[in-house]
Structure 1
Amino acid sequence: MTEARLTLCIIDDTDDVVTGIATAIPWGDHGIDVCGTATDGMAGLELIRSLRPDIVITDIRMPMMDGLEMSRAVLEQAEACQIIFITGYTDFEYAQQALKLGAFDLITKPFSTSTVLQVVLQAQKELLEQHRIQEHYREMESKIRHSLPILRQEYFQLLLRYPTSSERAKQRWDFLQVEMEAAHFAVMVIEIDDFTERCSSLPIHEVELIRFTIQNILEESIAPLTKGLVFRDGIDRFVAVINANGEEEASVLADLCRDNITQYSKYSVSVGLGLMAERIEQLPSAYEQALSALSFRFYSQGNTLLRFRDFESTHGQTLKYSLDKEKELFLSMYSGNGDKAVEALELILQEFADSETMLEPQYMKSVHYELALMILRAFMEKVPYDKLSVLDRKVKDSLIDGKVSLQDMRLLLKELCREGCKLVTQLQATSTQSFIDQAIDYIKAHLHDNITVQECAKTVHISASYFAGLFKKTTGMTFTQFLIMERMEKAKAMIVAGAQVQEVSAAVGYEDRRYFSELFKKHTGVTPTEFRSAYIK
């Protein structure tokens, strides 16, 4: 980087001195330009005011106005230049005054050009260093000015989380050029409804554009009505700190922000509003209150204003539900009756809904989560865990999801009941089929015996009446109908294979041949002999 050239003025009442200093030294080679000369203090002062040189070489004793008086006038007007005085050995008192005025250096007469050059180059070095420092400060100030919005946001994020006194805050307040009044605050926490779900598949630049749009609408909604600051507080959340003359005014503005976002974007927001913070020290409390109010979005589907004042009385309250309804729910689940289980669950949920006040969302989430775990544990008594693992994962995910709503939790509970009952029913059907398959194998192996319902039921270790009902439900036939059908099918196979009717009759459990023939004809429409004739030529 090329260093800037400096300018030099020479003032002395002796022309030879002025000419000698101006021409005998190759100032241009050293980055210095002689911009003007004068031969008395008055002319020198006008010269300095006009040209504003970086360095001034001046004699102390001059007509019209001496060098000290001239320098004093220059410095009073804050002219930034390095002044080098030329003085004689007898001017000791003047020299002291010159140093008090802030002279850079003194050159005593007689002097050489090399001495002058050496002193001026020292002054040049110091000036260039000052310029470098000043440029650095200017760059820093420029960066700070451009960074002020971010610095203000960061500062307010600290103010919302860590209490500080108004006195301590005032210094930073002024430095950051905060335009708000340092009192009478309202804090709003604004959350974009269902933002994660709606934007999960969008490119990052589109997500950022959405967030920018929402913030811009908030700022433009607030700016015409009051002073305020809007900044991001998470992926889908903003905070607005505003000056307001009371909570009602803040509520109106919060509703305006919510309505404008709905109108001018494709999104809706929920707004949590804390109590008024009259002093800076109260900002953390107002912020926590706004977050607490926003948590009651759990009860809604979004696009709503939630004021902390409206929920203050709910803290510490609990609820209970009827144990009889719980028993009815579990009985329905154990039987695999999904519709009846959901009906019993809805009665419990209705007891929750009949509560006179909206209880704290975190408490309500815990209650619903505990109910979900109870439902899962009940199903685990009937269904292996590996078949319930998907439902278990959904329950755990709902606990982790900080944005889950009351409606989401209720839908999850109903899904647990329905899907769990389906699994119970499937396992019951599988178990029943297993019983019936065992019984059918037994029947087929004992067609020649005089087997009964009681005998078959005993083989699968259930009562005869329950077995008879399961058998008909599964096969579509009574035990007797199925037994006759199997006997007739075996009889057909034996007749076609050439067995004698008497042999066939005994093989399928009928000692009386005539009774067997009548039963065979009733079942097939022909006698055993006619059946044989139809297949054997």
Structure 2
Amino acid sequence: MNRLYKVILIDDEDEVREGIKFKTPWADCGFELVGDFENGRDAWEAMEDLKPDAVITDICMPFMDGLQLSKRIFDHYRNVKVVIVTGFEDFDYAQRAIKLKVTDYLLKPLNSQEFTDFLLRMKHELDEDRMHKEDLSRLRSQLHQSLPLLKESFLEKLVSASMSEEERELGIQSHQLFLPGPAYVAMVGDLDGRQGDRSEESDTDRELIRFGVYNIMQEIIEKEHGGIVFRTRDHKVAALYSAVADELLLQSQTLAGQVRYSVEKYLKSTLSIGIGRPCHHIQQLSQSYQEALSALDYRFMLGVNRTLSIQDVEFGQREGISRDSDWEKQLVSAMRTGSQAYVSKALQVGFDGLRSSGTTVDKGYGIIHKLLVALMNWITETGLTHPAGIEDDLFSQIQTMKTLDAIQQWLEELCHRILKDLSAKRSNVTKSQMQKAERFISDNYMNEELTLNDVCSHLYMSISYFSTLFKQHTGMTFVEYVTRIRMEKAKELLAITSHKTYEIALRVGYGDPHYFSVIFKRQTGTTPKEYRNLQKGTF
């Protein structure tokens, strides 16, 4: 059965919209109409939930016109096709729309047969796009033809090992790499797992999916935004990106979101992307890269299919990256997940290895000392200043224990207490951050241009991470929360002042009084005038 592409329709003329909606044989043309709206703003707010493949929109509409909507869609949903519907008198607008990379435009009045023919043509284009993205045989061919091994080897060494300035500059020049700066950041993408049953998925299929992720990241981050993308030996895809320092983190989070959206749409898989801290010198990219890997360890606690910025999940500042042993790395990774079971398993594996190694007592104590150093370094990075059990001299405590069993039990209890303290600190920090967000919204709700980006920039927090926490904290999305605040303030002004409706609209963040009235009635069931009369006991 052929897949139906999702489409939404926007037109402020009810008769036109209803006519197109009910007279068009959508399914016969390969489409499913998943939503219809009377203005661009409502359509924009529904984009994330509906995830359409195509948008058909009028140009002249209240609250947000078709060109404004088209620009927002192109900025955030690069694979969605946008079709502008316009009258002859708005032909100049249509020409501007083409410059915005709008797919096509249609002239009113729409002829039913012509519109049906157009949908069939657009379905054919969407089919070709999908085949281009999903054709595994094409990916297999590219996989065998794409062998930039020396370049990938250099890049992996650049971010994972010490390198002299001369070696670094020579490699950058010989491989024609370009990162203009002045600030840099590393990102690492890792597949969460194929959606559905993976039992019939071969190693080759999984490798092709990973190569598809590489293609998508290369197209979005490298070809379109000047970053550098490469595959790693542990089956991840890394990206190095540079921009102005104040914009770097937000831009990298936006690109990560675009990559995850495309991977889910075209490869039917989910991808998590870790982002390190921004740095000001290329030689510091190895630190940002290690932090991006560390951020991925938090998937167990925070969930998959996310953009995980290390600045969101660790509150301290990492001064340097130590080259830990495998056991130390495994323990720290287990601590990042927040799972006591994972921590206990990592300790058990390490102590079992130590018992079977036949090492001397002094060397055994030395290995455990190194483990403690790695553990304390990680604690510092998380920003946990005084975890339970760390007040005393840990090394002296270990010396009093005469068996590995005693040390293992003590260390396991210590790690579990640290996880408990860290969870409490994270809850407190999260609560404080969300309260700060609420205060910021309360102070700025009257600004019509208030956006989610403004709040996240104020908190220095990634959009995806903030959105998850804010929904958990308030039970509402950002848009729902801001609307509620504005409506509560509007009701207060309607009840206790004699201000006109358009004045109240401006005071609560709506430049268009008509749109304010629409939203007010949608939220309260009455118009502003009716609400005021009810408060005064008049009708």
TM category (shorter chain) comes to 0.3 to 0.5
Q: What TM-score, normalized by structure 2, do the two folds share?
A: 0.35
